[in-house]
Every structure is written in structure tokens, then in C-alpha cells.
Amino acid sequence: MKFSTAAATFAVLVSGATAFTVASTGSSAASVAGSSIQRDAIRTAKSTTQLNEKMAEELGTPCEDECAMDSYPNMPPSVHPGVVTGQAMVDLLNHAKENGYAIPAVNCVSSSGINACLEAARKNDAPVIIQFSSGGSQFYGGKGLDNNNYQAAIAGAISGAFHVRTMAEQYGVPVILHTDHCAKKLLPWIDGLLAASERYYEKHGEPLFSSHMIDLSEEPIEENIDICKDYLARMSKVGILLEMELGITGGEEDGVDNTDVPLEDLYSKPEEIYQVYKELSPISDMFTVAAAFGNVHGVYSPGNVKLEPKILSRAQEYISEKLGDDAPADKKPVSFVFHGGSGSDLTDIRESLGYGVIKMNIDTDTQWSYWEGIKNFESKYHDYLQTQIGNPEGPDKPNKKYYDPRECMRSAETVTVDRLEQSFGDLRCQKILGLGEMGEATNVLESSVFGPRKGGLPV
């Protein structure tokens, strides 16, 4: 399946100093080209409106080099630096599917983690997906904030979204802004984020978030599909993509423990995947399926997790047969998501790319890499981190430059960037944009531990 925007026709209406986008209902089978708002047209209208205005332009922040680009040498013209939604996101995901790569989707809980993802994406000349879980969103808002009615999780995710929108342009990379697993009890969290996107859409002509995941895999399949249909209808009106889960991802993550689920629930059936495809497609084709093929959250000893990527291949074949002449030329009608990517065998990852996987989730490995950076820093400078004053160089020597949190956090970011380079490579998601190598940052305050302060900017 190639994505197209859910509403077949978009009309940009400009009147005086205001503009807004109206979506008219149409066939979800409309072609990508025919259903798109071309970015050039939007930018032409921008002289009298803030519709799809760059974040840097809206805030008045500097925007140079990659940030100032409207498109990339090797990408569809709609794909641009910053958060991509609607048609630009559609074109990016189609490009991944057509060219045999998947985009790393990294769970983030802080601005530091987000910045590491953006740095890694630019260093790998590639797009990236930044995503928040409900627990991660709550942490982003602050654990001291009351979370009744998920207010902290809603506020935290929105805060993170604006950070991503501000900084993604500066790093010059396209970002899909996503939220991860949302079980039935967490739907009020997604409702709050959708309301925020709808308000953002009214002012900017695009949603705040690119996509959301609804995970009702623990519910009966009929209920799972019915609720997803309702959300897809709502989301498609503003160009948000839906990711739905079919079958259960094992292991434990973010407070959800599926370590003891029956083995058969870890593997989706082609008939179930077709049922999802058949019922969601008439509403919109802006959806992906996180089908289970033995996926497990976390990292386990070799042999304890048995992935069966061929489940995805069999599903594509089964659905293509059902579609007959309406099947796409590549015989991959479904766009799949690979959950539980951390610790997975490279052979399984690469095999899944050939079956229509366009996104792979990474959380456990980047949690470890972030901690490993802190751990390594503490180990190296242990004797300088025990007191404010006094170290091996003398009892009166101050240790401020060692316990400055920026030092250990930067170490964490650096190790995470290195770990993500492996993920980009595993997913064949390198040298995608055509920007070339990332240049060295200049006029940066140097670390007082790793380098001299002389000539640096003031803190």
C-alpha cells in the first residue's frame, strides 16, 4: 500500500491576512500526487499567512544552512527539515518502503534524549521518528505534576512536541513526531493530544503531531478494529497517521507487563491482518500495522526470543491475493511496524525490511546507551565526584567542573548517538537525504573536563 492523504482533496483558502485548509471527503485510493498540498503552493501563500510556516520563522530564531532548505537532494520535494505531517510524512514513508529501508523510532523522555536523536539523524544523513509513551510524556512534564485525567502526560507530550518542532529544523532533518503504545485505559491521553493537534491545525494547516499509536491488542479484535476506525476517521481529517497493533508484543515496557502472555498471541495471522486492512482502508489509507511476529520488548539472552518475519511476507501475499487486480505492483499492500527492535538479530531486521517494514521501535537499547554514558563518566572521574571540594589533585581543589550535570549528560548523549548509528545502519537508513557529512559545530562552549573553556561562549 502506498499512502495517500486521507482526505482526497485539500484546498488552501487565502483571504486577506488569514488562510486555512479545508479537507473534502473523497476516495482514499486517490493518488499521492493528486491528493497532496504541494509545499511550494503553501510557501507561496505564506506571505499572507502562517500556514505551515517554519517554526524558526514563527519564533524569529536563526535558520541557516540545512534549516533553510525547503527539500532535500534525494527525497520527494514535499519532505523538508523539521516535523513532517500529512503529505510530506506520506511521501517519506512511501520513499522508505520503495527503497528498502526503515526509519528508527526512538522513545524519548527528555530534551537531552531528543537532541541526541536529532544529532544522530543528521550524522547519518537520515530521517528519524521521535516518539513519546504515556509514561515518558508524564516524565517530560515532571513527576511532581499531578496526572489525574492524564493532564501531566498530555502537557508533557505537547511540551516535547514543541521542543522537537523547534530543534528538528535546526538540525536540518525530517522528523515524524509520534506517540507510542496507547492502551484502552490511556485513550483520554490521546484524546487530549488530538485536541491539541486539531487546534494547531486550525492555525497552521497541519497537526501538532504526525501520528499516534492505538494499542488495543489486548481487546477482542472486533473491538480493536472498531475503536481504531473511529480514531482513524477523526485523525484523517487533519492528516494524522494511525498506527494500530494486532497481536501482543511480549516483555515489559512502560509499566505494561506481557511477559506471561500465551505464545500464540505473539504471532498475528494473515486473516487478521487482512481484516484490519479491509475495514480501515475505506476510511483512509494513512495507517500502519504493528503486527506481531514474536516481538518482545526488552533485551534477552540469545535464543529466548524467536522472531518469525515471514509472517509479514505471508500476510502481504494473502492480502494481495484477496485484492486481485487492485493489489499494488510491489505486492506489499500493508506498511508494517517492527516493535521490540532492541536486541533483535540483524538477520531478522534485514529480512523484515523486504516484507514492508518501514519503522522499527528502539527503546531498551537507547535507555542502556544513555545510562552507559553516565556510568562511564562516573567511573572515569569517580574520585572527582564524591565531594564538592577535594580530589586526587589536592584537598582544596573544587570539583564543580566534574559534577556539572552537562558533563555526564553530554557523555550520555554521545554514547547514544553512537548506538543509534548502529540502528540506522541495521535499518539501511543512512545517506538518505543527500546532505553529506555533518560539519563540526563551531562557537560551542567546550567541556571543562574534556576540553578548555578558553574562547567558549558564556554559560
Please identify every residue annotated as catalytic: 180
Rounded to whole angstroms, the Cα distance separating 249 from 270 reads 17
- Cα–Cα distance, 385 to 378 (Å, whole number): 7
Cβ-contact 107, 360 below 8 angstroms: no
- Give the other-Cβ count within 10 Å of 35's Cβ: 23
Residue 395 DSSP label: E
Three cell numbers at 89? 510524512
The closest alpha carbon to 448, from 387, 405, 407, 391, belongs to 407
Amino acid making up residue 365 = D
Describe the crossing of helices 187-204 and 151-171 by its angle, rounded to 10 degrees.
Answer: 50
Q: Which residue has the cell 544552512?
A: 65
**Which of these, 199, 221, 224, lies nearest to 213 by C-alpha position?**
224
Cβ neighbour number for residue 216 with a 10 Å cutoff: 21
Residue in the structure block whose three cell numbers are 514474536: 294
From the list 399, 413, 374, 414, the residue with the least C-alpha distance to 449 is: 399
Q: For every residue of 220-258, which 3-state class applies, written as one string?
A: CHHHHHHHHHHHHHHHHCCCCEEEEEECCCEEEECCEEE
